[in-house]
Amino acid sequence: MVYNYYLPTSLLPAVPLFLYMYVRKEALLSSQIEGAQSSLSDLILHENNAVPGVPVDDVEEVSTYVAAMNFGVERIREGQPISMRLIKEIHMILLDSGKGSNKEPGEFRRSQNWIGGSRPGNARFVPPPPQEVIACMSNLEKFIHADSQLPLLVRIGLVHTQFETIHPFLDGNGRLGRLLITLMLLAENALGEPMLYLSLYLKTHRETYYDLLQRVRLNSDWEGWLAFFLTGLEQTADQAASTARSLFLLLERDRQSIEQLGRPAASALRVHQYLQTNPIISVARASESLSISKPTTGKSIDHLVDLKILEEITGRQRDRLFVYKKYMDALAEGTEPLG
């Protein structure tokens, strides 16, 4: 049986614009599972050189995940197979900066790690010893590329569990293991675009996720894990399709409103297009990026404020920032940091 999850990218007027923000949402969610406290707004502000409201390390952790994800997707599109080499290259980018940058980026661990507890003796789980990591990862790579009668989604569920069990790096294993799910779907041509990410589902069911992984390790409960994993894929595909439809309707409704402006519509539409990859903007930055004069950009932004498309968020008279709030709200669903 072949499982294909081609999501309705035809619904979107500009697929790259949607993916630009959707990838950032996934990066944020995956990092939040590991304890990061940044929000989608923090990430956007960070990328626009504004100061976020959380520790910089948290935002950089999300930012490097975006870079690692984009790198992996590009290599897969170039025809590079998923291998130990590619996994290490992605890991090097993932830990390029932030809290894990001192944890041997791009290198399999040479010391024992553990999950939970203060030492291996009281840990919830102890992965294989460091001298076994290369052999374990080699076996995993062979399994990824072996001929198999198992359905693709089942194989991906098995790979994810085994990767998390090997825990081959000192840090970043959870984020990279979740990223591998999407990369395998792309590599097997089961996705047309990288639009299927499980992190919102896994964040929502975080304790169940960890418990089921542990039950596989202790009790070989593969059936329980796979039922959970496949349910998550189904729900995630439905959510991605729903988000795509919602964003399409929002963008189309706002575009039609802007077209009613008459002569100012041309520049206002360009600002609206820019907002789809930069939903928090300033007059100066938008002016520079769009090569439109500051007065014209400012007037366009004023028009978008009047149409209730943009909201000013600083309360200042100078260096003001504006947010495309409805667009951000649609994308940010479920991205509140864990308490």
pLDDT digits (tens, 9 = 90+) for 18-63: 666 667 777 777 777 776 666 666 666 666 655 555 455 566 777 7
Other CB atoms closer than 10 Å to residue 336's CB: what's the count? 11
User: Which pair of structure tokens corresponds to residue 169?
Assistant: 């790096």
pLDDT tens digits along 277-298: 888 889 999 999 999 999 999 9
Average pLDDT value for residue range 162-187: 94
What residues form DSSP beta bridges with 312?
322
Q: What is the pLDDT of residue 2?
A: 36
Any residues with CB less than 8 A from the CB of 145 and at least 6 apart, and which?
81, 82
Rank 121-125, 160-164, 234-238 by mean pLDDT and report only the highest: 160-164
User: What CATH code would you report for 254-332?
Assistant: 1.10.10.10
Residues in a beta bridge with 323: 280, 311
Mean pLDDT of 198-220: 92
For position 128, what pLDDT does the model report? Answer: 96
- The CATH number of domain 10-197, selected from 1.20.1510.10, 1.10.3290.10, 1.10.1370.30, 1.25.40.340: 1.10.3290.10
CB 128 within 8 A of CB 136: yes
Tell me the backbone φ, ψ of residue 253, rounded to 5 degrees. -65, -45
Q: What does the domain layout of the chain look like in residue ranges?
A: 10-197, 254-332
- Say which residues have a Cβ less than 8 Å from residue 183's Cβ, sequence separation at least 6: 72, 73, 76, 82
- Find the radius of gyration of the CA atoms of the chain: 22
- pLDDT, tens only, 213-236: 999 999 999 999 999 999 999 998
Residue 3 has pLDDT above 60, yes or no: no
Span 236-242, average pLDDT: 82
Q: How many CB atoms lie within 10 A of CB 65?
A: 31
Above pLDDT 90, what percent of the chain?
Answer: 53
- Give the chain as a 3 state SS string: CCCCCCCCHHHCCCHHHHHHHHHHHHHHHHHHHCCCCCCHHHHHHHHCCCCCCCCHHHHHHHHHHHHHHHHHHHHHHCCCCCCHHHHHHHHHHHCCCCCCCCCCCCCCCCCCCCECCCCHHHCCECCCCHHHHHHHHHHHHHHHHCCCCCCHHHHHHHHHHHHHHHCCCCCCHHHHHHHHHHHHHHHCCCCCCCCCCCHHHHHHCHHHHHHHHHHHHHHCCHHHHHHHHHHHHHHHHHHHHHHHHHHHHHHHHHHHHHHCCCCCHHHHHHHHHHHCCCCEECHHHHHHHHCCCHHHHHHHHHHHHHCCCCEECCCCCCCCCEECHHHHHHHHCCCCCCC
Contact 41, 327 (CB under 8 A): no
**Residue of 200 and 166 predicted with greater confidence:** 166
CB 285 within 8 A of CB 322: no
pLDDT for 103: 85
Terminal C-alpha separation, the chain: 41
Q: What is the mean pLDDT of residues 258-265?
A: 95
